[in-house]
Every structure is written in structure tokens, then in C-alpha cells.
Amino acid sequence: MKKTVVITGGSSGIGRACAELYATKGFYVVFTGREEERLKHVLQSIEEKGGEADYIVKDAANTDGAKKVIDFAIKKYGTLDVLICNAGVSQRAMFEDVDLDVFEEIMKINLMGTVKYVKFALPYLVKSQGSIVGVSSINGYRGTPGRTAYSASKFAMQGFFESLRLEMKAKGVHVMVINPGYTSTNIRKFALRGDGVVQGESPRDESKMMSAEKVAKYLYYGQTHHRRDVILTLLGKALIFLNKRFPRWMDRTVYRVMKKEDPELFTR
């Protein structure tokens, strides 16, 4: 019997790569996003390769939308086996320049969007003894300047999934958190400035980053092998290790590196 996966934030980047990969593995794929034209392109790509998928235009933070997506997957395919909570938005502004409404919006999308999908999907995942995958970030372990809301949302995701994992242990539901390092996606391009305006460009060289397709392969392997945590890139692993052992040194180092890489951020 074919399995079903629901993926939030599936119109580009890691979400799109996961949707295409899971389709090639024989899954029914239901994916969401806010831009219908992008979703159409993903669906076309999947169908051209013989996969079966559906997209739904929904904002990840919308409560009714989350329920409707899960209900749709169950009504059409009869089962839900994997939930991948990938939708998210980043930030590029110092906290003193961030409107509180913008901070709250980032928390709503990154944290509460995840919580809502898990809440509505959980009864079906318990029944199928399926998997929940949260796409977090190295910023969920190490905060960086200009990312207060983003880091807060990812730290909160880590705590949510850690608690949920223990609650689901006796019910056979697998809970995994994947923490990509720098990945070539649109997340920096669509990062929010302090006033909520999309910055429209990436301050980093995207060509030197891990591809979204490679992240998707790590995610699929981790999910199918019931891994607990997946931390990607040597740099990401080193940052987490050093942050635990030498936090004060890491404070100075991260500040210095970020200031060098994104000097405009520190002059606002």
C-alpha cells in the first residue's frame, strides 16, 4: 500500500526538493505554499516523472488551513504516514529595529504553523505509526545577530519536538528534527526586515552552500531509518560542539564573522 506525505512550504527550496524526492519513492504527496504558480511548477515536475501529488494554496500559520490540508490528505488517500513541517521565514534585522508585529509573524509561521499541522495530523500518524519531521536550523542551537525572532522560533521548535518525541514514544510515532546548515534556498531572499518588508536578496554566496536536493536526501534517509536528530554540514556540527564547550569564545567569534559577512546589518 502506498504511503502519503504532507509537506508544508513545498513551493521551493527544501520543501520542493522533498516533494519531488518522496514522489519518486512512491509516496502520494500533498504539499502546500502561498504562491500558486510556484506550486503548479512543482506539481508539473512531479507528474512528468510519474509521481502522484496535489498542492493546496495555504499559509502555514493559518489554523483552518492546516486542518483542511490534513483532512484533504485523509479524504483522498485514506492515510497519513509522514508529516514534514518545513514552512518557514527568516529575518534580517537587529532586534531594536524589529516591529513587534513582525517578530510575532515569524513566530506564528515558524513555530505555530508547525504546532498546528502536528496537532491535526497526530491522530492519523498515531494510527499509521508514522513520522513527524521538523525542519529546524543550526540557529535552533546557536543564536546569531539579526536573527532574534528566527532563532527564537527554531529554539522553540527544538523544545516542542523534544517533548513530543517522549510523549509519542509509547505510541510508535517517530519524531525527527533535521538541522540544515547554510542551504541554497530562497529563505534569505524572502527574509523579513524589521518593518516586515522582504529584503529581496541574499547577503551570502548561495553557490557555495549545500543544495536543497542534498538536504532532502539526508531528510529522507533519516526519516526512513528513524533517526532522532540530523545535523548537516561539518560547519554546523562544529558550531554546535564549540558552542557547548566554549560559549563565550563562540559569542565573540560569531559576532565577528557575522559583522564581516554582513556589515550593512551592523550599521543600521
For residue 135, pLDDT beyond 60: yes
- Tens digits of per-residue pLDDT, 29-64? 999 999 999 999 999 999 999 999 999 998 888 899
pLDDT of amino acid 46: 97
pLDDT of amino acid 42: 96
**How many Cβ atoms are within 10 Å of 104's Cβ, its own excluded?**
12
CATH class of 4-237: alpha beta
- Domain spans of the chain? 4-237
Q: Compute CA distances 138 → 49, 76, 146, 172, 183, whole Å.
A: 33, 36, 15, 27, 11
184 pLDDT band, cuts 50/70/90, is low
The whole-model pTM stands at 0.91
Residues that are catalytic: 150
- Tens digits of per-residue pLDDT, 209-242? 789 999 999 999 999 999 999 999 888 999 999 9
Query: What does pLDDT average to over the chain?
Result: 91
pLDDT of amino acid 264: 82
Query: How is 36-102 classified by DSSP, letter by letter?
Result: HHHHHHHHHHHHHTT-EEEEEE--TT-HHHHHHHHHHHHHHHS---EEEE-----B-S-GGG--HHH
- Tens digits of per-residue pLDDT, 51-101? 999 999 988 888 999 999 999 999 999 999 999 999 998 888 999 999 999
Spell out where the chain has E strands. 4-7, 28-33, 52-57, 82-85, 131-135, 174-179, 183-184, 210-211, 229-231
Helix, strand, coil shares, percent, the chain, to 5:
55, 15, 30
